């Protein structure tokens, strides 16, 4: 192995370690975004349930068509 190969390997290792040190922060950011998304979905489902309870509809029912001429 020549000196060039050794220096290239050391440079590659330093790049890999630098990228690996950033992964936990990136993973935490993704997790925080997912928590916000799950919270928003929960609020949306709660709003749908409230609307359904106000109209008396369930997920399987649809409103009756209006009486036409």
Please report the pLDDT score of residue 60 as a whole number: 57
25 is written with which tokens?
């922060």
How far apart CA 21 and CA 7 sit, in angstroms, is 21
8 A C-beta contact, residue 59 and residue 52: yes
Q: What is the CB neighbour count within 10 angstroms for residue 62?
A: 8
How far apart CA 21 and CA 10 sit, in angstroms, is 16
> What are the pLDDT digits (tens) for 2-43?
999 999 999 999 999 998 888 899 999 999 999 999 999 999
| Least confident interval from 7-11, 26-30, 57-61, 64-68 | 57-61
Q: What is the CB neighbour count within 10 angstroms for residue 31?
A: 10
């Amino acid at each position: 192995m020549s000196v060039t190969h050794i220096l290239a390997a050391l440079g590659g290792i330093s790049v890999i370690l630098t990228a690996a040190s950033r992964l936990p922060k990136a993973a935490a950011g993704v997790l925080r975004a997912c928590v916000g998304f799950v919270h928003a979905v929960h609020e949306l489902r709660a709003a749908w349930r409230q609307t359904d309870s106000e109209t008396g509809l369930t997920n399987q029912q649809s409103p009756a068509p209006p009486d036409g001429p």
